[in-house]
Amino acid sequence: MNVTTRELRKFSGHLRQFIADDKGVVIIATFGLRGSTFPNMIAERALPCTIVIHNALQNELAVQNQIGATVGEAYCGVAGGNKRHEYSVMGPSVNLAARLMSSPENPGILVDEAVKIGADQSYGFNALPPVKAKGYAEPVPIFEPLSPLERSWGRVQPNFVGRKPEILRFLNTGRALALSVSPSKFVWVTGGVGMGKSSVVVHALEHIRRIMKTNRRRLIVTKTVAKESDQLVPFGVFSMVLLEVLDYCQQWGDERSLHSFGGSIYSLNTLEWETLSGGSRSRSDSTNVAKTADQLALLCREINTPPEFAELFGRHLFGLDLRIKKKEQGQQRRSSSKTAMLKNLVGFMAKAFLRCVQDADLTVLAFDDVHHLDELSWRVLRSVFETSNKVLIICTSPPITKNLRVPWDPEFWKTLNSKYINDRFDLMNLGPLDEGEILEMIAKTLGIQQRHVSSQLHHNVFSQSKGMPSFAHEILESLKRGKTKTGMVEASETAFESVGELILARLDAFDASVRNVLNIGAVLGSSFELVELVAVLREVLGGDEEEQLHHIRKTREALELAVQEGILFLFHTEKGENEGLLQESSAVSQASPAEDGDEDAEITFGFAFCHEIWRSTILKLMLQERKRDIHRIIAESLRSQLGDNNEDYLSKMKLFSHYKASGDYEAASMVAMSVGTSYEALGMHSQNIRLLQDALAMWKIGNDSVSQEVLDFFTGEELGSVMQLYGAIGKAYSSDGQDRNSVRAYQDALTILGLAPASDDIVDRSVLFPIFYGLFDCFKFGQVEDDEEKYEKTIIRQFLDETRRVGDPIHYCRALAMQVDFVGRIGQFEEATKHVLELRKVYIPREHSAELCLDGGSDMAAIAISRSALYHLSLGESEDTLLVCRYVTSDLMYHMDLSNVHNSFLVIYPVLWAMKSIGLANEARRNFNHFVIDAFRQYYGEGSMTPYLPLHEPILMLLELDEGNVDDLSVYIDWALQEDNLRFGSIVNQNLGMYGKCADAISAEICMILSDHLAQGEEKLQLIQSGLDVALEVTSLTKRKGMISARSDIVVIYKQLMIRAKALVLTVRRGSSGHGNQG
């Protein structure tokens, strides 16, 4: 009762009667009485309300129901006598509605012909056998209404013909999955433009829906259209699918039950047009954040996933501002690996989706234009296919060719076509319709019998359309408008050379206001929201308030005409709903039911082109300048709506596309780098690279050589944007392990900078600094071929000049630190100490350290000063070595942020080994304990992680062993005898080798010292052998990477180990010889 009255209130209908008995419940509702009479009442009120009530009862309450709906005259008034009477509605139409309701053939909703005539073109109808009814002389035609489908998949077409074998394959696959527990299946539909790929899927799903409903099986269908811009949004497509199915989960623990979409349908006339503003619906609407956050957190618990996944998905993928309670988050936030996180995200999304749909008898995932799917959504899709049962995955795409860019991995595509073909994978290739099917389409579309179709007309339509369903449909729709009263059609009227020519002829027939609206809609995209269109029109047309209201009314008329003409179709979403969800028997764009009493749920209207060929033709006709202006207006409007929301990736990529199309490449570059920074933080390096490559390509630079002509036209501002992009993509390549591409990006940037005339016109020179920093790291890790170090020296000198030019002490300190690092790395220690003195004149720790840590996480200047202790040591300057050590431990470290344990470790690391070398190992150990160990415990605690945490214990161990005051060595020996403890990985060794001692060298030295404390035996032999193995590996690494200080350190250790090994072998040989003589 509450559900029915709630939906009736939304559409201003009246409840006449509510009857309940042992056989069930009967509800009688009306439209057309005082207070519920409207223009277009059937299409915009009565029929949508009928469908919504049916869906709400079924989805929210699991109540199976049948509805009969009719239109006609009826008596409405008092019936009965003085003592007993009631308000009643009586007449033939009421009797017919009751007859339809109780019909055994009723699939859910049945209507009469009057309803069909009164409905607009948004609805299709399936004709059923006529029925006899009281008050009607002849059998009454009856129909099942088919409502508008969501998004741009199109709708069920009453004139659909052909494709029977393909639809039968869909039905067999769906039936097999629904009626048994079997592994999920994959159906791939390919075909050229206009072959009707999505139409086949739509009609196949409609048949599946009916079968599922007849068998009272639960069906969940999600249908999504992937757009080209989606390729740059990680999880962009599948994240929306997951958000949609969250409301379908049958059981959320002990306290939750299914919260389904009830569904509402609206049309243009239900909207207060004059109140439209330029705002667009946000996915992070505050009214739904709490519910979504609650669902995500609960879902994490259901599938045993850490709660920060809810925050990650809500904030980064759904654009919602979610925050997790600290007690749930704990210390795990510091221990997550980006690479592991990315892998876990794919698994989480797949598991989350399957958890939400686990109670369905069949789940259908349908993706149109799947070749535009982003890489990570594809990984989720693959995971769902490989790990689930009772899921039917349907994809459509153009024919698979070498030129078709696809996100899937070749190995899986090969597996689909070999291991799973004809079992779990079905590849359908759609071709043209045959002559018989075209004849059937002509008859259905024109409403005539096939024998009345002239052979000439049949020949013309077939030959001109070449059997393409979409072209044939457009030809016939054009003919339909010119059909004679006799029902005959002139064959000459089909004389169009191509579908583009036909569409052009139809567009020419519209007035300027309609064409203007279609132009703006085409620029907005394949689908667009009404508020977006209105916002652009307000900006384009201008004028005072009265003129704008006039324009809005004209826009409404234009949109209504476009819908009537079959160019656009209308869809809507309620606030918080996500487009594209089809559930159970509903073919309606579903909406979340309003809370009790909430009758004013905000509705977002949208339109989609019925076929992409309409949009592409319109865009071809528009002047480039006109398109750029519209893109610019859209971008500015979207920018103002987004505000400071930096994590709504879908909207950000939409903004990027519009800026790019408007020609504002600088703004587009800024958006790309902003999104890329977030991708980088999530470890999505390949997605970041792809986005930045796309941004570089719009400047007509990138993978290929850049022409001087292009560079000559760059302004200083434009060149600055290009430099920022190169710096960002160089870093992204490095993060992804593509060292060569990283070097090339930085080098290309400096080449362009040298060739572009506008290089001196770059106002903000700091945009160049990330390029120098990145290239310097490449030099440091031996990724650049530079045998004589001349190139690196030139780059550093150039960087120093740039920092002096800018006058920023932070960047100047970094440049000086890079110079110290360079000359120290190539063994010019005396020159390095001179540069350190220059650095100390500029560097003020208390003012500069925090800012120096902002970018790279560590203070390069402080580290350079600390490393100078090793330079003095190498030069035999013990007093200067001690002075540097005292300055670092007694002064410099106290200006560092001790909560940045990573920085503290790197600053004090070189000093530890300098102090150890001059006999101050005990003091070195105390400082390491204070600045690193104690700080880590204070600011992080147990269960947390920093990059060099595994080295804390070995460092303390070596310093204690060097002091010689360890009473019990058994713990240390046990540690050293475990081979896995001795090696820390190539990256850690390369990083720390730059600071004077490789990590594995610590292990080798520990083995050497411990062996000295043992008498002859297996343990001593193993320690020496392990130490030698590790030392040999480190020796090779330091030689290959040119680490002079670290090499000097490990060579000494290696030689000492060799001496011990030889002595041990000699002792063993003597012992063995004596034993033999005795024998």
Question: What are residue 569's DSSP bridge partners?
Answer: 608
Two structure tokens written together for 855: 């970018």
Res. 341 pLDDT band, cuts 50 70 90: low
Identity of the residue numbered 757: P
pLDDT value of position 325: 41
> pLDDT by residue (tens digit) across 481-493?
654 333 444 545 5
User: 129-138 — which CB contacts under 8 Å span 24+ positions?
Assistant: 129/105, 131/99, 131/100, 131/103, 133/92, 133/95, 133/96, 133/99, 134/92, 134/95, 134/96, 134/99, 135/91, 135/92, 135/95, 135/96, 136/92, 136/96
Res. 124 pLDDT band, cuts 50 70 90: low
Two structure tokens written together for 1009: 């010292």
Res. 495 pLDDT band, cuts 50 70 90: low
Cα angle: 1039, vertex 1030, 872; to 5 degrees:
50
Q: What is the mean pLDDT of residues 405-432?
A: 83
Res. 316 pLDDT band, cuts 50 70 90: low
Distance CA 2, CA 275 (A): 31
pLDDT higher than threshold 60 for residue 579: no
pLDDT value of position 1: 81
Distance CA 316, CA 294 (A): 16
> pLDDT by residue (tens digit) across 999-1030?
999 999 999 999 999 988 899 999 999 999 99
Identify which has the larger pLDDT, 955 or 314. Answer: 955
pLDDT value of position 250: 40
Q: What is the mean pLDDT of residues 818-844?
A: 94
Res. 333 pLDDT band, cuts 50 70 90: very low
Q: Are 365 and 241 in contact (CB under 8 A)?
A: yes
Distance CA 457, CA 451 (A): 12
> pLDDT by residue (tens digit) across 23-73?
788 999 999 887 777 777 887 788 888 888 887 787 677 788 899 999 988
Q: What is the percent of the chain where pLDDT is above 90?
A: 36
User: 615-619 — which CB contacts under 8 Å span 24+ positions?
Assistant: 615/521, 615/522, 615/526, 617/500, 617/503, 617/504, 617/507, 618/507, 618/518, 618/519, 618/522, 619/522, 619/523
pLDDT higher than threshold 70 for residue 328: no
Distance CA 160, CA 196 (A): 10
Q: What is the percent of the chain where pLDDT is above 70?
A: 82
Q: What is the pTM of this model?
A: 0.70
Q: Are 696 and 725 in contact (CB under 8 A)?
A: yes
> pLDDT by residue (tens digit) across 641-656?
777 655 677 788 889 9
Two structure tokens written together for 955: 């460092």
Phi, psi angles (nearest 5°) of residue 220: -125, 130
Lowest mean per-residue pLDDT among 409-418, 542-551, 749-758: 542-551
pLDDT value of position 670: 94
pLDDT value of position 602: 44
- With a CB cutoff of 8 Å and minimum separation 6, the contacts of 88 are 75, 76, 77, 78, 79, 80
Question: What are residue 225's DSSP bridge partners?
Answer: 368
pLDDT value of position 254: 35
Lowest mean per-residue pLDDT among 638-642, 861-865, 994-998: 638-642
Distance CA 994, CA 1008 (A): 23
Q: What is the mean pLDDT of residues 277-287?
A: 41
Rg, C-alpha atoms of the chain: 37
Please choose, from the candidates 1039, 1005, 1040, the residue with its C-alpha nearest in 3D space to the C-alpha of residue 1024.
1005
Q: What is the mean pLDDT of residues 982-992?
A: 92
> pLDDT by residue (tens digit) across 882-909?
999 999 999 999 999 999 999 999 999 9
Counting Cα atoms < 13 Å in the Cβ hemisphere of 98 gives: 13
Res. 138 pLDDT band, cuts 50 70 90: confident
Q: Where are the beta strands (DSSP E) in 579-624?
A: 581-583, 603-609
Distance CA 242, CA 349 (A): 7
How far, rounded to the nearest angstrom, does the alpha carbon of residue 587 sit from its chain's CA centroid? 27
> pLDDT by residue (tens digit) across 1030-1046?
999 999 999 988 888 89
- With a CB cutoff of 8 Å and minimum separation 6, the contacts of 9 are 599
Distance CA 963, CA 461 (A): 96
Res. 120 pLDDT band, cuts 50 70 90: low
Res. 663 pLDDT band, cuts 50 70 90: very high
pLDDT value of position 1017: 86
pLDDT value of position 340: 43
Res. 596 pLDDT band, cuts 50 70 90: very low
How far, rounded to the nearest angstrom, does the alpha carbon of residue 638 sit from its chain's CA centroid? 19
Q: Are 336 and 230 in contact (CB under 8 A)?
A: no
Q: What is the mean pLDDT of residues 672-691?
A: 87
Q: What is the mean pLDDT of residues 144-162?
A: 64
pLDDT higher than threshold 60 for residue 812: yes
| Coil, helix or strand at residue 363 | strand
Res. 1049 pLDDT band, cuts 50 70 90: very high
Question: What are residue 67's DSSP bridge partners?
Answer: 109
Identify which has the larger pLDDT, 273 or 555. Answer: 555
pLDDT value of position 286: 43
Identify which has the larger pLDDT, 1067 or 237. Answer: 237
Res. 774 pLDDT band, cuts 50 70 90: very high
pLDDT higher than threshold 80 for residue 221: yes
Lowest mean per-residue pLDDT among 603-612, 736-745, 850-859: 603-612
Q: Which residue is it, tokens 């309609």?
A: 514
Identify which has the larger pLDDT, 682 or 554. Answer: 554
- pLDDT averaged over every residue in the chain: 81
Identify which has the larger pLDDT, 176 or 280. Answer: 176
